[in-house]
Structure 1
Amino acid sequence: MSLAAHRAQHVRLAVEGAVAAITLDRPERKNPLTFDSYAELATIFRMAARDEQVRAFTIAGSGGNFCSGGDVHEIIGPLLERDTRGLMQFTAMTGELVKAMRACPQPIIAAVDGVAAGAGAIIAMAADLRLGTPRARTAFLFNRVGLAGCDMGACAILPRIIGQGRASELLYLGRSMSAEEGLAWGFFNALHAPEALAAEAARLAQEIADGPAFAHAMTKRMLQMEWAMSVEQAIEAEAVAQALCMTTQDFRRAYDAFVAKRRPEFEGN
C-alpha cells in the first residue's frame, strides 16, 4: 500500500505530490503519544521505504505545540502495572519508531513549535532537519520522572547533533533547551515565526523532494553508517555509494541539463 492510500487513525497524514505531512493532532493535551500513535508512526515510516511517490516528510504538532511526550494517563499510568517483560516490550516499541525514522530513505523535517518534551524531543532529534520557532522549548526530561536519559537513542544521536557536553547537560538536568540555544548549538537549522513555520517546512521539504531521490536516500544512509567507520572506511563506502548514484537516470538528466544550460528536473530514478 502507498502512503497516499494509507488511512491513518491516530495521527494525521496528508500526501501532496512528493511530500508527506504528518501532524500529531491532540492539541488539547499538547499532542501526547499513545501506544497506538507510537505504533502507527513507526508503520508509516516503515511503509515509506516501499513508497515510490513520497520523497520527503514533514512532521509537526497542532495547536501551537509539537509533542508533550508519552500520554501520562494512557501510557505512563498503565506502565506502572507491567512486569519487566511488558516494560521491555514497550521500550522496544518506542525504539522502533526512531529506528524506522532513521531507516526510511526519505529525509524528514521536524517543524517544532512550543513544547517538544520527552518522546516529542526524541522525534525532533531523530528527524534529519529541524525548524523551530522562537517559542520552541525542547526538553529531554526523562530524569525528572526518575528515568535515565538513555531513551530511544538519545545518548547516541543527541551528542552527534549538539556535542557531548551540551547533550550531557540536557540529559542530566532535564531542563528545556530554548530556541535560541537550539539554533546556536545546531539542533535547529533555522527559526521562523510560528505563523510561517508550516509553510517554511513545506517549502524545504518540496526543495528536497525536487532533488535526486536515490542520491538523497544514499546521503541519509551514509550519514547514518559513517559514524561507526574510520575515515578510510568512510571514503571507501562513499566511493561505492557515489558510483551507484552515477548509474541513475537522474545523473544523466543533470548532465543533459547542464549541457542544455537549463535546470535539471529529477525523477527519482
Structure 2
Amino acid sequence: MAPDTTPTINAALMAGNRRPLAGYRATHFLWACSDGVARITLNRPERKNPLSFESYAELRDLFVALRHAHDVRAIVIAGAGGNFCSGGDVHEIIGPLIALPAPELLMFTRMTGDLVKAMRHCPQPIVAAVDGVCAGAGAILAMASDLRYGTARSKTAFLFARVGLAGCDMGACAMLPRIVGQGRAAEWIYSGRSVEGAEAERWGFFNRLVEPDALVAEATAFARQLADGPAFAHSLTKSMLHQEWAMDIDTAIEAEAQAQALCMLTEDFGHAYRAFAAKTKPVFEGR
C-alpha cells in the first residue's frame, strides 16, 4: 500500500479558515445542502418571497461565512411558490425607510450592497433559478449570481425608477451592462419595465430557459456538475471573472498566469492527468 502523502494542515489554521456549513440552520429562508450542493429558497410565497431587513442581513452573513465553507462547493438560489423574489417588502422595509434619517438610510443601503459583495466574493459558483416575479432586489440577487436559469413566464424588473429611486442600486449600473450590454441595461433600468423570459434570454441575462416544473432540478443538476469539478480552480475562475473587470489586458493576462500556476500545484490537476492517461473520468477533491 502506498504511503499517505496528504499534507497535515495545522489545526489552528484549519479552525480559522475552513468551517463546515452544510448543516447551517437558516432562520429567514430555507437552506439545504447535499453532497456539496447547497440550496437557498426564499420562502414567503404568499407575498412572492420579498426580502426583509432580517433576511437581507442573514443572507449577507451567510455568503460571508461561505468563504470558509469547505463542505459547500456550489449554490442554487430559488424562490418558493412559482416566484423568485418580489424585492424589498413594501410594508416591512419601504414603509419604515421613509421615516429614517440619512445615517440609518445609508446603513440600510450599505447592508444591501454588502450582500452583493458577499455573493461575488464567496468562492462557490451561484446558480439562480428564476421563475415568475423577479423584481427590484430580487433582480439584483439574480444579477449577482454567476449563472441564471429562467422560465418563459419569468418577469424580471429593475424597478427602482418606478418607486422614485435611482437605478444605481446594489451594483446594478456596474454589473448589468456587463451582462446584457450598456444600451439594453440603460433601457431596462430607466424604464423599470418587466422583461419576460424569452427576451431576457436573448439579451444574455438568462443562460437558458427551462420549463417551470423542471427549473430547480435543472439548476441543481448544473450546480452538481460544478460541485463535482475542481472546486479550487472554479473558485479562481470566479475570482478572475470578478477582478478582471477593473484590469487592463496585460494585468489580466498576468493575473491569470499566476492563478493557473496555482491550479497546476493542486492534486486535482494531477488527478485529471492520470485519469486522461488511463482513459477514465477524473474524481476531483477540491484541493
Shorter-chain TM-score bucket reads: over 0.9
The count of corresponding residues between Structure 1 and Structure 2 is 269
CA contact (8 A) 1:2 1:47 kept: no
Following TM superposition, by how much is the alpha carbon of 1:177 offset from its aligned partner in structure 2, in angstroms?
Answer: 1.2
Q: Distance in 2 between matches of 1:2 and 1:62?
A: 26
What residue in structure 2 maps to residue 21 of structure 1?
A: 39
**What code does the residue aligned with 1:238 have?**
E
What residue in structure 2 maps to residue 266 of structure 1?
A: 284
Q: Distance in 1 between matches of 2:21 and 2:39?
A: 10
What residue in structure 2 maps to residue 74 of structure 1?
A: 92
**What code does the residue aligned with 2:237 have?**
T
After superposition, what is the alpha-carbon deviation per residue over 1:46-84, rounded to whole angstroms, capped at 9, x for unaligned? 111111111000000000000000000100000011000
What residue in structure 2 maps to residue 207 of structure 1?
A: 225
Report percent identity of matched pairs: 65
What residue in structure 2 maps to residue 34 of structure 1?
A: 52
After superposition, what is the alpha-carbon deviation per residue over 1:16-49, rounded to whole angstroms, capped at 9, x for unaligned? 1110000000000000000000011111111111
What residue in structure 2 maps to residue 48 of structure 1?
A: 66
Q: Distance in 2 between matches of 1:218 and 1:4?
A: 22
SS in 2 for 1:5: coil
What residue in structure 1 maps to residue 194 of structure 2?
A: 176
What residue in structure 1 maps to residue 160 of structure 2?
A: 142
CA contact (8 A) 1:3 1:44 kept: no
What residue in structure 2 maps to residue 126 of structure 1?
A: 144
**What code does the residue aligned with 1:18 have?**
G
Q: Distance in 2 between matches of 1:204 and 1:140?
A: 26
Q: Distance in 1 between matches of 2:92 and 2:267?
A: 49
TM-score for both structures, normalised by structure 1: 0.99
Structure 2 residues not aligned, in runs of 5+: 1-18
What residue in structure 1 maps to residue 10 of structure 2?
A: none
Structure 1 residues not aligned, in runs of 5+: none
What residue in structure 2 maps to residue 85 of structure 1?
A: 103
Larger radius of gyration: 2
SS in 2 for 1:4: coil
- Aligned CA RMSD, in angstroms, stands at 0.6
Q: Distance in 2 between matches of 1:194 and 1:6?
A: 28
Which stretches of structure 1, 4 residues or longer, exceed 6 Å deviation after superposition?
A: none
What residue in structure 1 maps to residue 3 of structure 2?
A: none
**What code does the residue aligned with 2:236 have?**
M
Deviation larger for 251-260 or 2-11 = 2-11
Q: Distance in 1 between matches of 2:61 and 2:201?
A: 31
